A = this chain, B = another copy of it.
Amino acid sequence: MANEERLDIHNSEIPVVCRACEARHRGICGALDPEQLQKLGKHAIRKVVDDATELYSADQEIERYSNIMSGVVKLSKMMSDGRQQIVGLQFAPDFVGRPFSRQAKTTAEAATTVRLCSFPKNALEKIISETPELEHRLHEQSLKELDEARDWMLTLGRKTAAEKVASFLHLIVTHINPEWEDTEDTVEIELPMKRADIADFLGLTIETVSRQLTNLRKRGIIDIRDRRIVIIPDIHKLFAATQQDLSN
């Protein structure tokens, strides 16, 4: 296997911290050659933050970008009187940050414990300008986020409370493991956030979220354990509930 040896030799140029990183395979760092990885790696800091840690805040200067290595980050907006809306959830190996803007437009907060690989704004933007393939990857992620945001606009604007909660559960399931989208098996998931966050994501109150969860439970679409663990015996039935009013 001369090939494997060649691969190993090649690997040896890649920074140690990057070798096992998912962002190098499915994330944006896959666009970088070993030399660029080294350059960026020099400025990169890996860190682990607890849930509720704020990564950056709306209207503030952006100083660092990050890759999510594990965990969930929520992006939110708040009105002056305190009303809040979560406008995006990001999972590994997503890129976090708003390129080409001095100010952040959302607040980013760890929803769970999150492992991050973070680097200064300037270091990344320099490499972007030299690497069209990197900008292409960032562009693809922006387009993916735009698709997701627009899907969610339909949920926010036109679905009932029961459909919204089902849509949330379906989103979580398919983001934890995309293959579960069309499995026949029973699936068990841990909700990455508390009821208040779910309410802010769905444009509801915590009471309504709670009521609709027990509504789905009573209809046999889900089962709930320990308040955070949800069991879904039939994903297709859950999907049906995302578009068909079950409030009666």
Residues of A within 8 A of B (CB): 75, 77, 79-81, 83-85, 87-88, 98-101, 105-106, 132, 135-136, 138-140, 142-143, 145-147, 149-154, 156-159, 202-203, 243-244
Q: What is the distance, in angstroms, from A87's C-beta to the closest C-beta of chain B? A: 4
* Cβ contact within 8 Å between B132 and A87: no
**Stoichiometry, copies per complex:** 2
CA distance A244 to B83 in the complex (A): 11
Expressed in whole angstroms, the Cα–Cα distance for A98 and B77 within the complex equals 26
Contact among B81, B87, B154, B203 with A150 in the assembled complex (CB-CB below 8 Å):
B87
Residues of chain B with a CB closer than 8 A to A243's CB? 79-81
A158's partner among B84, B139, B154 (CB-CB below 8 A) is B84
Contact A150 B77 (CB under 8 A): yes
A143 and B85: CB pair below 8 A?
Answer: no
In the bound complex, do residue A105 and residue B150 qualify as a contact, i.e. CB atoms below 8 Å apart?
Answer: yes
Residues of chain B within 8 A of A146, CB atoms compared: 142, 145-146, 149
Known contacts: A140-B100, A157-B156. The answer to whether A88 contacts B150 by CB under 8 A is yes
